[in-house]
Chains A and B, each alone.
Chain A
Amino acid sequence: MTIPLLPIYMHIPDGFLSVPVATVMYVITAIIIGAAVRQTNRHLKESTAPLMGVLAAFIFAAQMMNFPVAGGTSGHMLGGALAAILVGPWAAVLIMTTVIGVQALIFQDGGLAALGANIFNMGILTAFTGYAIYRTVVSVLRGTRASMLVGSFAAAWISVMLAALMTSAQLAISDTSPWSVVLPAMLGVHVLIGIGEGLITAGAVGLVLSARPDLLRSATSAVTQKLSSSGYSGESAS
C-alpha cells in the first residue's frame, strides 16, 4: 500500500479553517495571482498558453510519481520550488494555482472555501521562497553546477517546511488544531518529506542542467527567449 504523504497534511478541506482565515487567504491569494497574471502577460507573450498549461500538467504528473520511503509509505513531491527554479516565480505561481485549483475543483483534494489558503501555502509561498533561496545560493556560490544543486535542495526543503508552518498556523488561528500539537507534528513529518522534496528537486535540476542547460541559464529569460523570439526552435529532445 502506498500512502501519499503530502496530500494528507497539505490540502486543507473545508470546515477546518474559520471564515475570517479562509476569506483573508482568498483575498491575499487573489491579489498575488492578479500580479502574477500581469507579470506573466508582460514577459511571456503569446506563446504562454500552451507552455504554462503543459508545464502545469507536468507538475501534476510529477506529483503523482511516488517515492518509496519506508514501511510501505511513499512520498511525492509538491513541486512549487522546482517550478519556480525552472520558469521563474511568477509563472510558477500560475502553474501551481492551476494544479491546486484543478485538484480541488475536479478531484476534491482540498476544500473550495479553503482554496485560497491552499494555493497560498502550496503554490505562492513555495514558489517565492524557493526561488529566492535558489537565486541567493547560486549567486553566493558563483553559479557553479554544485551551487545550483545545493540551491535547489535548500529551496525545496525550506519551502516545504514553510508551507507546513503556514498550514499549521492557519489551523491554529482557526482554532482547529492547537499550536502545541499541530506545529511539532507538521514540522516533524515535513522535515523528512522536505528532504525527499529537496533530493528530487536537485536531481531534476541536475538532469536539466546536463541535458538542456539553456533552459536553466536564467529561469524566466530561458522561457521567454526560447519561445517568443525564435518562435519554434525546431529541436526536440529525444
Chain B
Amino acid sequence: MTAFLPGERFHHGEGLLYRTDARVKLLVVVAFAFAVTAIPEGRWRAFVAFALFVAVAIAISRLPLWLVLRRSLLALPFVLAAVPLIFTRAGDTVATLPVLGWTISDTGLIAVASILLKSWLAVLMAVVLTSTTRPLDLIRALERLHVPRILASTVFFMYRYLFVIGGEGQRMMRARESRSALMPDVRGGGTIAWRARVLGTMVGTLFIHSFSRSERIYAAMLARGYDGTVRFIEESSLSRTDRILGAIAFIALGGLVLVARL
C-alpha cells in the first residue's frame, strides 16, 4: 500500500519534443486520440500508418523504448471490458470453447483487436506527452489555451498541494497499519462496515485539515497582495519550430484520418 502517491511522470532528457511548446504537444495528442478513435474496425493498414506516427513520435522524443512500453501497458487495465465481444458479435465461428460451448466469431476477434490497438496507440502518445513535458508546463498550457481561469487555477493549486495532502493521507494510512497488527493466518480487522467507518473518519479528518489549510493559504496569499486574480508567468509565444512541428503533425493526422476512411 505504500505505493500510494503517483510518481513523477516527467523523464529527464533532451530533444526536439522537450523543447516543443506544451500547447502544441497537448493539442496534437488530443487530436491524435480522436483520430485513432475514428479508425474503422479491422483497417489494419490504417493501424500500421498510425503506429508509424507513434513510432516517429517516440523516436524524436528520444525516450527509452522500454519506458514508454512499460508505462503504456500499466495504463491499460480496462481491457477486460472489451473481451466479451469475442463471443457476442455475430459472425462466422472461428472456434468454440470446450466446456462452456461459447463460440468465438471472426468479427468479434477483429472488433476486440481493433479496440485494444486503438487504446494502446492513444496511450502511447499520452505517455510520450507526459514523459517529455513537465506537469507544470502542461498545466500552464491549459491556462494559455483559454481553459476558464478558475479551472486552470484550481488545477494549478491542486497540483501544488497534491503531494502535501496526499502525504498527509499517506501518513494516516501508515498510522492505521501501525495500529492494526496482523497475526499470520488470523483474519484481521472488523466488519466491512467497521473498516469503512475507520476510513470514513480518516477521510473526514483529511477534509477538515484540507479546508483549514486552504484558509491559511488564502490568508498567506492576502498578506502577499492577492487581489483575486491568479497570475501566471507570461511566456513567449510559439516559436517557429513549434509552429512548423504542429503544422506537420496536424497535416499528417489529417492524412491518416483520410487514409483510414478510404
A interface with B by C-beta (< 8 Å): 2, 7-9, 11-19, 22-23, 33-34, 37, 40-41, 45-58, 60-62, 64-69, 77, 82, 86, 94-95, 97-99, 101-102, 104-109, 111-114, 171, 175-178, 180-182, 195-196, 199-208, 211-212, 215, 226-227, 231-233, 235-238
Contacts of B36 in A (CB 8 A): 14-15, 113
| Chain B residue at minimum C-beta to C-beta distance from A65 | B169
**Are B159's CB and A102's CB within 8 A?**
yes
Complex: how many Å from CA A11 to CA B82? 14
| Residue of A7, A105, A109, A171 ringed by the most chain B CB atoms within 10 A | A105
Cβ contact within 8 Å between B158 and A177? no
Complex CA gap A2/B77 in Å reads: 14
- Max chain A CB contacts within 10 Å: which of B76, B148, B199? B199
- Check if A106 sits within 8 Å of B34, measured CB to CB: no
The answer to whether B210 and A55 touch across the interface, beta carbons within 8 angstroms, is yes
The chain A residue with its CB closest to the CB of B41 is A175
* CB-based contact A14/B37 at 8 Å: yes
- In the assembled complex, the Cα of A171 lies from the Cα of B84 at a distance in Å of 12
Q: Are B154 and A53 in contact (CB under 8 A)?
A: yes
Q: How many Å lie between the Cα of A63 and that of B36 in the bound state?
A: 30
Residues of A within 8 A of B33 (CB): 14, 111-114
Flag whether B186 is at the interface (Cβ < 8 A). Answer: no
Which residues of A have CB within 8 Å of B199? 65, 67, 200, 203
The distance in angstroms between the C-alpha atoms of A50 and B192, with both chains bound, is 35
Candidates A17, A46, A65, A178; contact of B85 at CB < 8 Å: A178
Interchain CB contact (< 8 A) of B30 among A23, A97, A112: A112
Q: Which residue of B lies closest to A18 (CB)?
A: B37
Q: Is B217 an interface residue (CB 8 A)?
A: yes
Q: Contact between B160 and A65 (Cβ–Cβ < 8 Å)?
A: no
Q: Can you spell out 8 A-B residue pairs with CB atoms less than 8 angstroms apart?
A: A16-B78, A52-B158, A53-B153, A54-B161, A108-B126, A113-B34, A199-B197, A231-B222
Whole-angstrom distance between the Cβ of A165 and the nearest chain B Cβ: 14
B80 A57 Cβ-Cβ under 8 A = no
Residues 207-248 of B contacting A (Cβ, < 8 Å): 207-219, 221-222, 226-228, 230
Instruction: Kindly list chain B residues whose C-beta atoms are within 8 Å of the C-beta of A177.
Output: 81-82, 84-85
**Interface 0/1 of B96-124, CB less than 8 Å to A:** 00000000000000010011111111110
Contact of A15 among B116, B159, B189 (CB under 8 A): B116
Whole-angstrom distance between the Cβ of B74 and the nearest chain A Cβ: 8
Q: A12-B78, A14-B37 are in contact. Are A204 and B200 (CB under 8 A)?
A: yes
Closest 6 CB pairs of A and B: A203-B200, A53-B157, A15-B118, A207-B204, A46-B228, A199-B196
Q: How far is the CB of B192 from chain A (nearest CB, A)?
A: 7
Residues of A within 8 A of B26 (CB): 105
Interface flag for B156 (CB, 8 Å): yes
B85, A237: Cβ atoms under 8 Å?
no
Contact of B78 (CB < 8 Å), options: A8, A55, A64, A175 = A8
A51 to B211, CA, bound (A): 7
Beta-carbon nearest neighbor of B81 in chain A: A177
> Considering the chains assembled together, what is the distance between the CA atoms of A26 and B6 in angstroms?
26
